[in-house]
């Protein structure tokens, strides 16, 4: 292990989250930690998140419009395992020129430290073009695939997670080729315009050679020998707006009026989950359990809900989940981290992207069961919830996971990695940033 160095003087940090609230929240948690350490923190992200960023006290820079965000999420195929990746590729190509423009205006080579997700190709491209100081941030372990572990990029692959190593290597190679085909095509069109050679292995290129940060703990995803040597792991950030948004008074009253509910959410970006909520409400009615349905999109919620089942647009998970009996969610890493911290059983209904891989890891921890979207039916979900809630073993495993989350070291390693980048300590110079993984 490389020892952590002394904290740097004030650093100019530009965070560039891309995606839904589940993708933006972790960066805001990191930003608040950096600001508390005395650094200037700016957040470049979609216009939709401007009010939230401003409530945190961090500086906001617009990167893509609210209309672009709305149009992207309005398409049902955005959550399809294959077509969703293709749609994402087109969106990433669309925002790439704007990303370069934002970086050209707001990031100074040698002075600004940029932290961006691997999918924000413009940040990595700007590092090539202008020598920007960049840390690639992975919110999920699947962003750092390894030939030594299972590769689960699709719900159908969940059953193969325990298959032999040769299968895992084959699956990873196939996944890499598909990523090159679906995601790198638009990037390479832009590279041709700039006179640059094409990227042929996207999953290797997208990592900054200076520093890679995983915002998840090693007990959730043990470091692998073929991970980038410049990799640093921190804890789950777990920012969820609880400090910058007033609690819904109706929700407070509802929680106080009866026993703990079961919480159901398909994720903040989902707009096509009417069936999910219909089934969830009926599960509560059949089990005679109280339920909380969470969605920012009212059109998904059934017009008539059973007694004891309430819909809320948004509730901080750090508040509602410790007061719940169980949670049913999509497998986003932010939702999963909050459920682990709350120490409650989970049913995960993964659709695409990182969700199947996260689900497999939660099952291995002994705290969750998985239901594929097509199998999300009342009888099955009701039976699984009864089993989970009544299991002493699941309760013990969930309690152990909660203790691990709560006793973790926080984001110090991630902050120090960015501080050390500011003073020129990079993997390229032979001195990996922060605390390198073994």
DSSP string of 230-247? TEEE-------STTTSPP
Task: Indicate the pairing of strand 346-348 with strand 368-370.
Answer: parallel
Q: What is the pLDDT of residues 223-281, one digit of tens each?
A: 999 999 999 999 999 999 988 888 889 999 999 999 999 999 998 878 788 999 999 99
Distance (Å, whole) CA 187 – CA 264:
37
Q: How confident is the model at residue 368 (pLDDT cuts 50, 70, 90)?
A: very high
pLDDT in tens, 152-177: 766 666 666 666 676 667 777 766 67
DSSP 428: G
User: Residue 328 in 3-state DSSP?
Assistant: strand
Q: Please, how many CA atoms are within 13 Å of residue 242, restricted to the half-sphere of its CB?
A: 12
- Quote the tokens at residue 267: 């994720």
Q: Of all residues in the chain, what percent are helix, strand and coil, respectively (each to 5)?
A: 50, 15, 40
Topology agreement, domain 12-235+409-429 and domain 249-406: yes
Helices (H) and strands (E) in the chain, counts: 16, 13
The yes-or-no verdict on residue 17 having pLDDT over 80 is yes
- What integer pLDDT is reported at residue 88 of this predicted model? 75
What is the predicted pLDDT for the residue at 156?
A: 64
pLDDT of residue 85: 73
- The rounded mean pLDDT for the chain is 88
- Which one is predicted more confidently, 130 or 162? 130
Confidence of residue 147 (pLDDT cuts 50, 70, 90): confident
Is the predicted pLDDT of residue 68 greater than 80, yes or no?
Answer: yes
* Mean pLDDT score, 308-318: 95
Does 25 have pLDDT greater than 90?
yes
Span 348-357, pLDDT tens digits = 999 888 899 9
The residue ranges of every structural domain in the chain are 12-235+409-429, 249-406
Which whole-number Å values give the CA distances from 229 to 210, 223, 225, 373, 419, in the listed order?
10, 10, 9, 37, 18
Task: Specify the CATH number of the domain 12-235+409-429.
Answer: 3.40.50.2000
Nearest to 142 by CA among 172, 173, 181: 172
Backbone angle region of 38, left / alpha / beta, with phi > 0 → left and psi within -120 to 50 → alpha: left
Distances (CA, A) of 329 to 47, 110, 281, 406: 26, 42, 14, 21
Q: Is the predicted pLDDT of residue 328 greater than 90, yes or no?
A: yes
Closest Cα partner for 418 from 27, 24, 99, 21? Answer: 27
132 alpha carbon, distance to own chain's centre: 24
Residue 150 has what pLDDT? 73
- Confidence at residue 222, expressed as pLDDT on a 0 to 100 scale: 93
Q: How far is CA 54 from the centre of its chain?
A: 21
CATH of domain 249-406: 3.40.50.2000
Confidence of residue 432 (pLDDT cuts 50, 70, 90): very low
Higher pLDDT pick, 330 / 5:
330
pTM: 0.90
Q: Residue 306 in contact with residue 370, Cβ under 8 Å?
A: no
Confidence band (pLDDT; 50, 70, 90) for 434?
very low
Q: What confidence tier does 133 reach under pLDDT thresholds 50, 70, 90?
A: very high
Which residue has better confidence, 353 or 406?
A: 406
Longest dimension (CA), the chain: 65
pLDDT computed for residue 93 by the predictor: 84
Q: Which residues contact 186 (CB under 8 A, 6 or more apart)?
A: 89, 90, 92, 93, 96
- Residues β-bridged to residue 329: 348
Report d(CA 438, CA 2) in Å as an integer. 9
- DSSP secondary-structure letter at 266? -
CB neighbours (10 Å) of residue 110? 9
Per the model's pLDDT, the better-predicted residue between 150 and 128 turns out to be 128
% of the chain with per-residue pLDDT over 70 = 88
pLDDT digits (tens, 9 = 90+) for 180-207: 777 888 889 989 999 999 998 888 899 9
Q: How sure is the predictor about 426, in pLDDT bands with cuts at 50, 70 and 90?
A: low
pLDDT of residue 154: 65
């Amino acid at each position: 292990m490389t020892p952590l160095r002394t904290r740097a003087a004030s650093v100019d940090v530009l965070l560039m989250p891309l995606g839904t609230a589940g993708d933006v929240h972790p960066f805001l948690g990191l930003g608040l930690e950096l600001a508390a350490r005395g650094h200037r923190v700016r957040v470049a992200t979609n216009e939709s998140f401007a009010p939230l960023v401003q409530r945190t006290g961090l500086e906001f820079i617009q990167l893509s419009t609210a209309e672009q965000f709305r149009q992207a999420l309005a398409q049902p195929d955005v959550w399809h395992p294959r077509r969703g990746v293709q749609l994402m590729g087109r969106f990433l190509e669309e925002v790439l020129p704007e990303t370069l423009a934002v970086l050209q205006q707001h990031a100074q080579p040698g002075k600004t430290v940029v932290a961006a997700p691997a999918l924000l190709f413009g940040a990595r491209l700007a590092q090539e073009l202008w020598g920007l100081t960049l840390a690639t941030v992975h919110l999920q372990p699947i962003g750092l695939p390894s030939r030594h572990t299972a590769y689960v990029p699709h719900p159908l692959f969940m059953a193969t997670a325990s298959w032999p190593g040769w299968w895992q290597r084959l699956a990873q190679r196939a996944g890499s080729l598909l990523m090159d085909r679906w995601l790198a095509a638009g990037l390479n069109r832009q590279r041709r315009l700039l006179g640059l050679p094409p990227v042929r292995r996207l999953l290797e290129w997208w990592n900054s050679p200076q520093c890679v940060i995983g915002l998840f703990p090693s007990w959730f995803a043990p470091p692998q020998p073929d991970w980038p040597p410049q990799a640093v792991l921190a804890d789950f950030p777990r920012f969820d707006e609880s400090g910058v948004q007033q609690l819904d008074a109706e929700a407070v009253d509802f929680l106080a009026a009866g026993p703990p509910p079961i919480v159901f959410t398909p994720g903040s970006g989902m707009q096509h989950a009417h069936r999910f909520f219909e089934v969830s409400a009926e599960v509560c009615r059949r089990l005679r359990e109280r339920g909380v349905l969470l969605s920012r999109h009212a059109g998904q919620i059934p017009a008539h809900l059973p007694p004891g089942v309430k819909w809320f647009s948004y509730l901080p998970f750090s508040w509602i989940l410790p007061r719940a009996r169980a949670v049913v969610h999509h497998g986003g890493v932010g939702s999963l981290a909050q459920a682990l911290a709350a120490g409650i059983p989970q049913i995960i209904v993964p659709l695409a992207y990182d969700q199947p891989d996260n689900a497999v890891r939660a099952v291995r921890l002994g705290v969750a069961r998985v239901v594929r979207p097509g199998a999300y039916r009342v009888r099955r979900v009701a039976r699984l919830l009864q089993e989970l809630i009544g299991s002493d073993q699941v309760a013990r495993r969930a309690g152990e996971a909660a203790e691990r989350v709560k006793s973790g070291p926080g984001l110090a390693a991630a902050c120090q990695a960015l501080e050390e980048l500011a003073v020129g300590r990079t993997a390229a110079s032979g001195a990996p940033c922060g605390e390198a993984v073994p």
